[in-house]
Amino acid sequence: MSNFKKVVLVLVAAIFIIGGAGFGYVYSKLNSIYVKDDVAKSTDTKEEGKIVDGITNILLVGTDGKNVERGNRSDSVMLATIDSKTKQIKISSIARDTYVDIPGHGYEKMTHAYAYGGIDLLKEVFKINFDIDVDKYIAVNFVSFMDIMDELGGVVVDVTPNDVKEVNKYIDACYDYYYDRKDKVKKEYITKSGVQRLNGYQALAFSRIRYNDDAFHRDNRHRDVAESVYNEFLKAGPKEYKRCADILLENTKTNISPTEMMDLGFTAFKIGDTNIEQFQFPMEKYRKGHIISKQKGWVLEWDKEPNLSAWHEFIFGYNNFKK
């Protein structure tokens, strides 16, 4: 059976975990996931964080393989924006089939960039296609997605009548093949629609739904799960934070230093924004999905000026797009 699709939006949890887990506890763990080529890893510890001034954009990547290195496609990509001035946290979802110019490879689906050149090439794609400079990133493979959900006591989402049958199709695979708590938790299917709490394997199954609608509805479900994850973190205590930190930090790679991560976590935690603003790129009215060729398959072409103008307005609060 092929690798199940990961939900990149829970990457936001990495930032929020740091905000509440206790800085001394996670500092040494952060050094183990921190990647920096030209200087040694940080050894200075700190006991409290500080507010990061202004806007910070973090590229969040979930791979479709068991590692977070190049060679695997980016199954899902988003941009997390932490704005301490307006006290907002924002999430931008970028469709994996977005048709972009990948340096050295020509126009292809964005999902291929990470496989070709890892995070550096993906950042270059953002610069030349979207006019967005991204310095910070977090990449994760989501082997522990279900454990995180269970540690938090599940997540609350709205399951539509159209989702019920589909989510139950995926529950078998998620529970039978990937769930490691079968001795403690029995398999249960979704029996009704509406707002409800899903456990780890149910939340993963909900996030995998795609073929009863389209990739954009799937992205919406991802963002709904991410917002619920964040709200659950805000309600959790130190014990849950530390257990989640142990789980998540084992499967993460980032160029955000331990000190920077703790400050970003502290900032996000202090903002406490329970209504995360969301943006889907490209926008529905300025995109066209179709098959270009047998080799390139189904791609998503998009109108540059209206999409980027609206996206830059969403991120920066003004139109920063250079026409």
**Residue 182 burial by CB count (10 A; 0-12/13-18/19+): exposed, middle or buried?**
exposed
Q: What is the mean pLDDT of the chain?
A: 77
What was the pLDDT predicted at 9?
34
**Start-to-end CA span in the chain (Å):** 46
Mind listing the domains of the chain with CATH numbers? Answer: 8-143+240-316 (3.30.420.590)
Query: Are 84 and 53 a contacting pair, CB within 8 Å?
Result: yes
Two tokens at 120?
Answer: 């550096």
Please name the residues in contact with 132: beta carbons below 8 A apart, sequence gap of 6 or more.
Answer: 57, 79, 126, 312, 315
User: 52 or 252, which is more confident?
Assistant: 52
Query: Are 303 and 312 a contacting pair, CB within 8 Å?
Result: no
User: 70 or 274, which is more confident?
Assistant: 274
CA angle 59, 279, 12 (to 5 degrees): 40
Which residue in 194, 79, 98 sits closest to 206, CA to CA? Answer: 194
Q: Taking residues 265-285, what's their average pLDDT? A: 81
Q: What is the pLDDT of residues 177-207, one digit of tens each?
A: 778 788 889 999 999 999 999 998 898 888 8
What was the pLDDT predicted at 311?
97
Two tokens at 39?
Answer: 């200087």
Question: How far is it, in rounded angstroms, from Cα 134 to Cα 202?
Answer: 33
Q: Does position 304 have pLDDT exceeding 80, yes or no?
A: yes
What was the pLDDT predicted at 23?
43
User: 108 or 145, which is more confident?
Assistant: 108
User: 280 or 253, which is more confident?
Assistant: 280
Provide the pLDDT confidence category of residue 103 given band limits of 50, 70 and 90: very high
Two tokens at 4?
Answer: 């199940």
What was the pLDDT predicted at 168?
94
What was the pLDDT predicted at 17?
41
Task: Identify which of 6-15, 134-143, 146-155, 157-166 has the greatest average pLDDT.
Answer: 157-166
pLDDT over 70, % of the chain: 70
Q: Taking residues 115-123, what's their average pLDDT? A: 91
Q: What is the pLDDT of residues 2-58, one digit of tens each?
A: 222 233 333 444 544 443 344 444 455 555 566 654 333 444 444 456 888 999 999
For β-strands 74-83 and 88-94, DSSP reports them as antiparallel
Which residue in 150, 239, 156, 160 sits closest to 201, CA to CA? Answer: 150
**φ/ψ (deg, to 5) at 193:** -90, 175
What was the pLDDT predicted at 49?
64
What was the pLDDT predicted at 4?
25
What was the pLDDT predicted at 187?
95
Per residue, the 3-state secondary structure of the chain, as one string, reads CCCCCCCHHHHHHHHHHHHHHCHHHHHHHHHHHECCCCCCCCCCCCCCCCCCCCEEEEEEEEECCCCCCCCCCEEEEEEEEEECCCCEEEEEEECCCEEEEECCCEEEECHHHHHHHHHHHHHHHHHHHHCCCCCEEEEECCCCHHHHHHHCCCEEEEECHHHHHHHHHHHHHHHHHHCCCCCCCCCCCCCCCEEEEECHHHHHHHHHCCCCCCHHHHHHHHHHHHHHHHHHHHHCCHHHHHHHHHHHHCCEEECCCHHHHHHHHHHHHHHCCCCCEEEEECCHHHEEEEEEECCCEEEEEECHHHHHHHHHHHHHCCCCCCC
Question: How far is it, in rounded angstroms, from Cα 240 to Cα 236?
Answer: 6
What was the pLDDT predicted at 40?
37
Two tokens at 169?
Answer: 């199709």
How many Cβ atoms sit within 10 Å of the Cβ of residue 208?
21
Query: Are 36 and 54 a contacting pair, CB within 8 Å?
Result: no
